[in-house]
């Protein structure tokens, strides 16, 4: 088993499948009256959050507690970070306290990788800047597999603010490893240039591209098994990437009319938090096709599996 989970690229198909299978076993615990396993008793998991989070932080906390680990929640607000303490000094403090795993969310891309150089325990990247969010990709893959029965060969459209999305990056890496076909959809200003070029080059070279890019949402809907809507991340935008919110919603928002163009079995996903009325309408978000609440539930099982396997729960 790997020691850290920093990127979707850390996982080969066998390891990713093992995590998803373990998560399915963990999910049975959630159905019990006593939602606890003794697997990580006596181990310490630190949640180190330098950026706001609702779902991810609570989810990691619930996961660690269901495995009986001791959980320390550290949020940058109200700590010595506010006095200017560096990530390295904070890491050394955690190290001195004997953290077995550190779950980190940080606004700087690459922060989780740096942290992994400084601590002896396992580091789990819970989102670093616009870079990666691998447990989100795992819970998304888990949700697709449980709803649609497989991942290989699925057509997955990842729609919207791909440029600023660590969720999109981790999903592209993981889903291509697991054999799904990913199409990135959004305005040209919000598709990373290197990915657009990669998709175009692979096409001209006649090879099967691992990703494709399309700027027209309506064109991809009829052939998509999964539509993953992304939040427009205004807090990361230093410039104007589209004319107006209305114009964005008109071209790239998923509303009821567009949803009805999807194949009957297709599902709609969103990692949350949503901008209702911008990238997704309430009608779609609250529809039977939407897996948004399920994704949150699955997140706990997937994070249980990740912590359990990284910390050698079965001497993996």
**Annotated binding-site ranges:** 55-56, 83, 105, 133, 136, 166, 231, 272-273
Whole-number Å distance between alpha carbons of 49 and 111: 12
136 binds ligand NCD (CB under 6 A): yes
* Count of residues in the chain: 316
141 binds ligand NCD (CB under 6 A): no
Smallest distance from the beta carbon of 20 to ligand NCD, in angstroms?
18
Element (H, E) at 314: none
289 binds ligand NCD (CB under 6 A): no
- Binding site listing for carbamoyl phosphate: 55-56, 105, 133, 136, 272-273
Report the residue from 133, 145, 169, 181 that binds ligand NCD according to the rule CB under 6 A: 133
Sign of CA dihedral 287, 150, 225, 161: positive
Smallest distance from the beta carbon of 183 to ligand NCD, in angstroms?
19
- Binding site listing for L-aspartate: 83, 166, 231
Burial track 202-223 (b if 16+ CB lie within 10 A, e otherwise) = eeeeeeebbbbbbbebeebbee
| Long-range contacts of residues 147-150, Cβ cutoff 8 Å, at least 24 apart | 147/267, 147/291, 147/294, 148/225, 148/226, 148/265, 148/267
Whole-number Å distance between alpha carbons of 69 and 258: 45
| Nearer of residues 52 and 70 to ligand NCD, judged by Cβ | 52
Whole-number Å distance between alpha carbons of 41 and 99: 13
| Nearer of residues 272 and 312 to ligand NCD, judged by Cβ | 272
145 binds ligand NCD (CB under 6 A): no
Smallest distance from the beta carbon of 272 to ligand NCD, in angstroms?
5
| Nearer of residues 107 and 312 to ligand NCD, judged by Cβ | 107
Nearest to 115 by CA among 48, 58, 173, 51: 48
Which residues 200-239 are close enough to bind ligand NCD by CB under 6 A? 231, 233
For ligand NCD (CB under 6 A), the number of binding residues is 11
271 binds ligand NCD (CB under 6 A): yes
| Nearer of residues 55 and 276 to ligand NCD, judged by Cβ | 55
Smallest distance from the beta carbon of 91 to ligand NCD, in angstroms?
21
What is the three-class DSSP state of 28?
A: helix
Evaluate whether 154 touches 225 at the Cβ level (below 8 Å). Answer: yes
Nearest to 132 by CA among 180, 91, 171, 160: 171
Count CB neighbours of 105 within 10 A: 26
Which residues 80-109 are close enough to bind ligand NCD by CB under 6 A? none
Report the residue from 76, 124, 167, 199 that binds ligand NCD according to the rule CB under 6 A: 167
Positions touching ligand NCD (CB under 6 A) are: 55-56, 127, 133, 136, 166-167, 231, 233, 271-272
């Amino acid at each position: 088993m790997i020691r850290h989970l920093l990127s979707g690229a850390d996982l080969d198909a066998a390891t990713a499948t093992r995590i998803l299978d373990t998560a399915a076993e963990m999910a049975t615990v959630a159905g019990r009256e006593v939602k606890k396993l003794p697997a990580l008793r006596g181990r310490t998991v630190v949640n180190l959050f330098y950026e706001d989070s609702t779902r991810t932080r609570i989810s990691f906390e619930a996961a660690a507690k269901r495995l009986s680990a001791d959980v320390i929640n550290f949020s940058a607000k109200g700590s010595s970070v506010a006095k200017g303490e560096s990530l390295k000094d904070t890491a050394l403090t955690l190290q001195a306290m004997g953290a077995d795993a550190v779950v980190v969310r940080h606004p700087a891309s690459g922060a989780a990788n740096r942290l992994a150089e400084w601590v002896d325990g396992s580091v789990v990247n819970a989102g670093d800047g616009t870079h990666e969010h691998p447990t989100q990709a795992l819970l998304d893959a888990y949700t697709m597999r449980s709803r649609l029965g497989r991942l290989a060969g699925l057509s997955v459209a990842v729609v919207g603010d791909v440029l600023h999305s660590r969720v999109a990056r981790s999903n592209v890496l993981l889903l291509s490893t697991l054999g799904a076909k990913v199409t990135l959809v959004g305005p040209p200003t919000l598709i990373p240039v290197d990915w657009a070029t990669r998709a175009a080059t692979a096409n001209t070279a006649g090879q099967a591209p691992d990703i494709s890019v399309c700027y027209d949402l309506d064109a991809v809907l009829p052939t998509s098994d999964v539509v993953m809507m992304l939040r427009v991340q205004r807090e990361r935008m230093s410039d104007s990437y589209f004319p107006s919110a209305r114009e964005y919603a008109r071209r790239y928002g998923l509303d009821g009319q567009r949803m009805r163009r999807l194949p009957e079995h297709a599902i709609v996903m969103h990692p949350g938090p949503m901008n209702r009325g911008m990238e997704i309408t309430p009608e779609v978000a609250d529809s039977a096709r939407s897996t948004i609440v399920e994704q949150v539930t699955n997140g706990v099982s997937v994070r249980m599996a990740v912590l359990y396997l990284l910390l050698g729960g079965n001497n993996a």
